Amino acid sequence: MLLCRTVRFALSPIEAAHLNSPKNNAYAAWPSAQGWHASISLEVVIAGEPDPRTGYLISIAEIDEIARRTALPILDQSFRAGGAQTLALKPVAEALNSELPFPLQSITLIQSNFLSFFYEVSMPNHATFTQSFEFAASHRLHCDDLDAATNQKIFGKCNNAAGHGHNYRIEVSVRALIQDPPKVRLDQLEQVVRQNVIDKLDHKHLNTDVASFAKNNPSVEMIARVCHDWLVQPIQDVGGELVRVRLWETEKTSAIYPG
């Protein structure tokens, strides 16, 4: 079984975290925010068998205590030094693994709603970072070889002849070697995604303006696959490996490729 626990921190660029301050609002962050700060989350994933009596693998309070005692000082120092986030991942994982009573599988450092860094213990020299982007586009779901009634039955309002629009959100996950300076910089990834995806799709009618969808329905599944294929080589050219693309059509619907 895997158990996941998220611990939240508030890091100050000026002074070290107050490790002895009261835990008044651990839901938001601890240590508490002091002026301008960075609120980050650390997801810890461990594996093991729950105790048959208690049903617990480990108390989440114990995970929190270990994370704050071992990971927080490393993250705090890295934040104030201004180093690459990926450089802190391996030391944090090693510190956690030395204290946790069950094997650590992975950690995810969540810097914001738009950027996160993933580290697997089984791949100690690599990190995967995920950045979010958005674009607005319209499309129509329609199959030319089906009659109007069948198209309407399958696609409903999405078959509207004039099309309809979405504010799409795309998450791009890239794996790279951990090194200083970083193998792939965030600004490089953002430029690659802008040039190869956003500029091609933003404020376009996908059926008529994008050649890839001239004969293929621009469903959320197909858009995710096309975006992935557009990005594989450009990301490789800057030193990374495209792991996956996740495309959100609405807050309730997304497609991940490869799955």
- Residue pLDDT, tens place only, 4-44: 999 998 887 776 655 566 677 767 777 777 777 888 999 99
The answer to whether 111 and 86 have CB atoms below 8 angstroms apart is no
What would the two tokens of residue 9 be? 């921190």
Residue 213 has pLDDT above 70, yes or no: yes
Residue 64 has pLDDT above 80, yes or no: yes
In this predicted model, what pLDDT tens digit does every residue of 162-180 receive, in sequence order? 889 999 999 999 999 999 8
In this predicted model, what pLDDT tens digit does every residue of 182-208 receive, in sequence order? 889 999 999 999 999 999 999 999 999
The answer to whether 127 and 119 have CB atoms below 8 angstroms apart is yes
- Spatial CA neighbour of 184 closest among 134, 245, 129, 243: 129
Residue 195, pLDDT score: 98
Q: Decide if 158 is catalytic.
A: yes
Catalytic entry in 4, 134, 143, 203: 203
Catalytic entry in 62, 158, 190, 221: 158
The answer to whether 43 and 110 have CB atoms below 8 angstroms apart is yes
Domains and CATH numbers, the chain: 2-124 (3.30.479.10), 131-257 (3.30.479.10)
Q: Decide if 249 is catalytic.
A: yes
More confident residue, 113 or 36: 113
Q: What is the DSSP letter of 211?
A: G
Q: What is the mean pLDDT of the chain?
A: 92
Task: Supply the pTM of this predicted model.
Answer: 0.90
Q: What mean pLDDT is predicted for residues 240-258?
A: 97
Residue 69, pLDDT score: 92
Q: Decide if 203 is catalytic.
A: yes
- Spatial CA neighbour of 74 closest among 63, 86, 64: 86
Catalytic entry in 126, 142, 166, 249: 249
Q: Find all residues with CB under 8 Å of 179, minimum gap 6, and list them.
A: none
